[in-house]
Structure 1
Amino acid sequence: MDTTHEMLTVTGQAKATLPVGDDLSPITVIGTEPIRQSFGGETLKQAINSRRAPGVSRVVLNPDAHVGYGAPVGCVMVSPTHVYPGPVGVDIKCSMSLLQTDLPAEALHDAAERRKVIKAITKRVPTGAGRGQRHAPKSRRVDGRLGFQVATEGASKAVLKKLGIPKSWAEACEDAFHLGPDGTSDSLAARLQWLGRERDKLDRIESKYRQLGSYGGGNHFGEAEVVRLAGGERERAVAETFGLKDGCVAFLSHCGSRGFGHDLAMTQFRSLKSVFQSRGLAFPAGDPQLVYAHADSAEGQQYLCDMAMGANFATVNHLLINALVLEAFREVFPGIRGELVYFISHNIARQEPIDGAVQWVHRKGATRALPAGHPQLAGTRFESTGHPILLPGNPRDGSSVMVADAGAEASAFSVNHGAGRRMSRTRAKKQLVQSEIDRGLADHDIISNCRTYPRDEAPDAYKDFNEVLKSVRQAGLASEVARLQARFVIKDGAPADD
């Protein structure tokens, strides 16, 4: 019988600790009692394995946690010395972004108008694994030269100009660009040239460039929202500082580095696994998905280069999607204005000051949460408020914009990245009833581009979003400043009939 749940020690209303032995500090667990009960034994086991891995100084388990590759999805793993590809994941810099428009909610009251916008978006932004620009007649074309520039420069002024993206949007990014471990983009260029040294490898890389400006499959989505400001006077003031407009339409996106980042990540997994085997090294807990490298080693430097390039691609992918979405809205509603509220990642390793030292903070399905006054926000427009935190829930129950509180230090300045799965995809497809899913969305007047909404992405496949947010609030990590109510959803699926 699994006894890991019995080991959880409650230290606060929505905080608990999970001891791991070996004189190591315990894992910090964020979640109310119902949320803690949602963690399966395998999730807790993966968290313990991650905490015991070499070079790891701290692990946090967020309320959306569930089984992942090596480390749980929804965890934070901190190390002063080592980098771990597993706790970054195969979708390097999978992220959220939010575009705020001045279009009043009433403009999308009519389903026919929403269908027009959906059609305009899907003409510009493809969806699905392997799908690229040739599937969308009004997308931006990306050749090998521009793709190389995107991967090595990120959201540079030159890249944004070539793609028709407002230059000011770079200032609304958690990171507008990533450099190599030597602090230059030259090391990224050299690495990418080496990866494409053979014709077939270069052809594959350039084919992935053509996915720029697209959503993937699975849990990736675009969603038109109505913004409802929440909370008291302080929260509303913060929301307005962020540029949120009560009662207006916004657009929330979830995607990452597409096939380009996936290939980089899988190459690193294979390479590091081969290094372990050739040197006779033991995998942490016997799990090859917890391979690692010292950050200063040759292998660590190569991983950091590849992660940076994947992250650059993901950044520009989001910005381009938002530019295309705004263009689509203007096709239906000429003259509307839109600004990027924020772009924030949840699959990345970054160097940050944690526990008095600069350490590698791996966030696997976890979102950075820096409160007002944090040194890494100095000189940004979020210095006095903290930055926006974008948390997707599900179309039926809404999504949330939050801002970190001082208590976020307890979770390595991190929160969850969404609701988190409570059902595997296989179980959801077997147990959830399509007619009930479709009726539930219809009852909330939510439409999508799909003929039938994917069963494995149905709201009931995910945890109770309100309980997840309650966990964050009661743990003192963050406060909600706005709730987002879905009006339509763009997903990977068979297109709906016109």
Structure 2
Amino acid sequence: MAEATIRIIASPESWIEQAAVDQLHQTARLPGIDKIVGLPDLHAGRGIAVGAAFWSRTHVYPHLVGSDIGCGMALWRGSMPLRKFRLDAAERKLRGLEDPWSGDHAARLADAGLPPMLMGEALGSIGGGNHFAEILRIDDVKDEALFASLGLDAGFIYLMVHSGSRGLGHAILERHLARHNTGALIADKPDCGAYLAEHDDAVRWAILNRAIIADRFFDRLGMSGERMLDICHNSVTAHRCGWLHRKGAAPADKGLVVVPGSRGEMTYIVRPRPDHADASLQSLAHGAGRKWSRSEARDKLARRFSIADLERTKLGSRVICEDRDLIYEEAPQAYKDIHQVIRDLHQAGLIDLVATMRPLITYKTRRA
């Protein structure tokens, strides 16, 4: 059986670990997989490389999407002018966000076309791992005309939310694995249709969750917000008479994309270019990509830095993370160079640079 074609979009200056490349080759041997693209943030995952896209004419593989179906990044422009924003006051106000959301779960779920009892208790929660909410400001406008045409404005604060479908996506994948292990679903068969229906519900749930998280943050900060974009980087979608799986890969066919670095680095706003998009399976890097595993990060950094050290970044931003392990696991040092990732995408002709954003407060979890 022939192995799928693999293309890795990364310059010689980028570090790509061999374990991630090996995982791509393992996936390339799956029945029905035709094309694979690894992006500059490529890194090894739990059996599946993260920062990659996989295309098949006839097969759907739920384990290539993973358990956090619908995970993605959304960006809002806040109504508060940057000149009125006070960092200390904002940090103090961001409390109570681990408590259950007190809004009308059933109504919001129904508005999103979802069953009114679907995982309502988890709505409005960020979750663990690499998920976060971050308050930012525009740092550097790369293309003034493009920036203005997109409705962006450097005079306001912004909120970025990275979260997904929480336990819903996990339950969907576990049900599939119990029936089929990591086997494929044939696209026109009932089992595949049932999975895709659940998958699409999880994507809608994740989009709604990001919106409610934003509502909660803006409520604490005493303002409103306008959503500028929402992109999903864990999904499977119909594409070119086949099925495109993205695992930690942002879509290049849905408009503007945010590509965040670590919590101590810039986030880029980019516009995908159509010229070479087919060569990248209509996908872009979704972030910087991990350099160290979680255990490596804890072991290496706990000896060098205190918790207080990691609550401030080299950019002067604040980090709210009252989980001792998580603050080490998600430290900036554990991630690759976001500027190199963006250079690789730009040199490959995949993006136009719009602006960079500087973090002010990165929020992960607060105990009380």
**TM-score, reference length from structure 2:** 0.91
CA gap of 1:439–1:299, structure 2 versus 1, over 3 A, is: closer
SS at match of 1:300: helix
Distance 2:272 2:211 in 1: 24
Q: CA deviation at 1:107?
A: 2.7
2:238 matched residue in structure 1: 351
Q: CA deviation at 1:228?
A: 3.1
1:305 aligns with 2:197: yes
1:472 aligns with 2:345: yes
Please, which of 29, 44, 49 is the counterpart of residue 8 of structure 2? 29
CA contact (8 A) 1:69 1:89 kept: no
Distance 1:454 1:397 in 2: 15
Q: For 1:287-330, what per-residue CA distance to the aligned partner results, in whole angstroms no more than 9, with x for missing partners?
A: xxx42110112221221122112112112111222222222222
1:277 matched residue in structure 2: none
1:410 aligns with 2:297: no
CA gap of 1:257–1:219, structure 2 versus 1, over 3 A, is: same
Q: CA deviation at 1:493?
A: 5.2
Distance 2:267 2:70 in 1: 20
1:210 aligns with 2:121: yes
1:389 aligns with 2:276: no
Distance 2:306 2:134 in 1: 21
**Larger strand fraction of residues:** 2
2:250 matched residue in structure 1: 367
Distance 1:483 1:291 in 2: 41
CA contact (8 A) 2:53 2:249 kept: yes
Identity %: 28
CA contact (8 A) 1:91 1:262 kept: yes
Distance 1:28 1:369 in 2: 16
Paired letter, 1:369: A
CA gap of 1:437–1:367, structure 2 versus 1, over 3 A, is: farther
Paired letter, 1:82: H
CA contact (8 A) 1:454 1:493 kept: no
SS at match of 1:86: helix
CA contact (8 A) 1:70 1:86 kept: no
1:118 matched residue in structure 2: 94
**Larger helix fraction of residues:** 1
Q: For 1:258-290, what per-residue CA distance to the aligned partner results, in whole angstroms no more than 9, with x for missing partners?
A: 1122111111122112xxxxxxxxxxxxxxxx4
SS at match of 1:479: strand
CA contact (8 A) 1:56 1:82 kept: yes
Distance 2:192 2:92 in 1: 48
CA contact (8 A) 1:222 1:251 kept: yes
Distance 2:328 2:200 in 1: 34
| Segment drifting more, 398-407 vs 436-445 | 436-445
CA contact (8 A) 1:59 1:77 kept: yes
Task: Structure 1: give runs of 5+ residues left out of the alignment.
Answer: 1-21, 127-134, 160-188, 193-204, 274-289, 331-335, 371-385
2:297 matched residue in structure 1: 428
CA gap of 1:437–1:23, structure 2 versus 1, over 3 A, is: farther
Distance 2:365 2:79 in 1: 27
SS at match of 1:390: strand
Q: For 1:319-375, what per-residue CA distance to the aligned partner results, in whole angstroms no more than 9, with x for missing partners?
A: 222222222222xxxxx452100111000001123xxxx2211000001002xxxxx
Distance 2:2 2:308 in 1: 48
Q: CA deviation at 1:229?
A: 4.7
2:312 matched residue in structure 1: 441
Q: For 1:426-479, what per-residue CA distance to the aligned partner results, in whole angstroms no more than 9, with x for missing partners?
A: 010000133388268354221133346710000010111111111111111112
CA gap of 1:266–1:468, structure 2 versus 1, over 3 A, is: same
Distance 1:437 1:41 in 2: 34
Q: CA deviation at 1:244?
A: 1.6
Distance 2:196 2:111 in 1: 15
Distance 1:154 1:47 in 2: 39
CA gap of 1:73–1:439, structure 2 versus 1, over 3 A, is: closer
Distance 2:308 2:278 in 1: 39
SS at match of 1:291: coil
CA contact (8 A) 2:73 2:232 kept: yes
Distance 1:394 1:364 in 2: 18
1:291 aligns with 2:183: yes
Paired letter, 2:190: A
Distance 2:346 2:197 in 1: 36
Paired letter, 1:365: G
CA gap of 1:218–1:24, structure 2 versus 1, over 3 A, is: closer
2:148 matched residue in structure 1: 240
Paired letter, 1:261: G
CA contact (8 A) 2:265 2:315 kept: no
SS at match of 1:87: helix
Q: CA deviation at 1:250?
A: 0.1
Q: CA deviation at 1:411?
A: 0.2
1:127-206 equivalences in 2 (<5 Å): 135-136=99-100, 139-142=102-105, 146=106, 150=109, 155-156=112-113
Q: For 1:184-233, what per-residue CA distance to the aligned partner results, in whole angstroms no more than 9, with x for missing partners?
A: xxxxx7xx9xxxxxxxxxxxx86x3210111000100000000235223x
Q: CA deviation at 1:73?
A: 0.8
Q: CA deviation at 1:50?
A: 1.5
2:321 matched residue in structure 1: 450
Paired letter, 1:253: V
Which of the pair has more CA radius of gyration? 1
Matched pairs, number: 363
1:40-55 equivalences in 2 (<5 Å): 40-55=17-32
SS at match of 2:175: helix
Please, which of 216, 220, 243 is the counterpart of residue 324 of structure 1? 216
CA contact (8 A) 1:221 1:254 kept: yes
Question: What root-mean-square deviation, in Å, do the aligned CA atoms of Structure 1 and Structure 2 show?
Answer: 2.4
CA gap of 1:155–1:435, structure 2 versus 1, over 3 A, is: same
Q: For 1:401-447, what per-residue CA distance to the aligned partner results, in whole angstroms no more than 9, with x for missing partners?
A: 11111222210110011111110000100001333882683542211
1:400 aligns with 2:308: no
CA contact (8 A) 2:58 2:187 kept: yes
Distance 2:308 2:9 in 1: 30
SS at match of 1:463: coil
SS at match of 2:152: coil
CA gap of 1:75–1:442, structure 2 versus 1, over 3 A, is: closer
